[in-house]
Amino acid sequence: MSERVYSQSGDRIESVEPVTVRRYGPATRVNHWITATSLVLLLISGLALFHPSLFFLTGLFGGGQTTRMLHPWIGVILFLSFFVLFCRMAKLNLPAKEDATWLSHPGEILSGQEEKLPELGKYNAGQKIVFWAMTVLILVLIATGIVMWQQYFAGVVSIPVRRVATMLHSMAAVLIICVFIVHVYAAIWTRGTIRAMTRGTVTGGWAWRHHRKWLRELARLDRTGPAE
């Protein structure tokens, strides 16, 4: 099953000397950066509307009224873009038996002794947690955001319901900021990871060290061809 997923996603070993592995195609990278840009714009505009001390941030969007108008529409773009990303990546982020072992050895992970841990597929348990946390939080944000969108839904949502939605929206926003920070920090901390989303490829050494099971399966595909 995993070989079929990899063949459909376009992952492959592109060169042998030196070993270069394609991790993300152009469409996935564009999809990712649209999602990331939308999320950053939402965080800035949302914080600007959240507290008077941060209202000055509305100047980046042309003022308070423009920010209030743009914020929900950027949210729609984020939801649609992440939905496409979800369809691309969901299967590869399903839990695997090696994830529990990986999570139970934080010392080896932080010290870079990954050779003592089980071989991993395309994503480790930490990446999977970030993926599913983003999925849940974006669903909460879009659902509560629609309830709060007075321009279109003021007449069908009561004030008490809108107040609850506002509270949940704010809580989800704080949590997704935390998840986003973890995601960015992990990408910077794990050297060579950002290259995957800028150039689409990683080195063979990076793939062997961090995602050896994934590399082995790609090598098997390279020899036998895509699974039927």
Which residues belong to the active site?
Answer: 183
Sheet holding 19-22, edge to edge: 12-16, 19-22, 201-203
Q: In degrees rounded to 5, what are phi and psi of residue 121?
A: -75, -150
CA 103 to chain centroid, in Å, comes to: 19
**The two structure tokens encoding residue 213:** 């099971």
Q: What stretches of the chain show up as alpha helix (H) in DSSP? A: 2-9, 26-50, 64-89, 97-103, 106-111, 125-148, 150-153, 159-189, 193-198, 204-210, 212-224
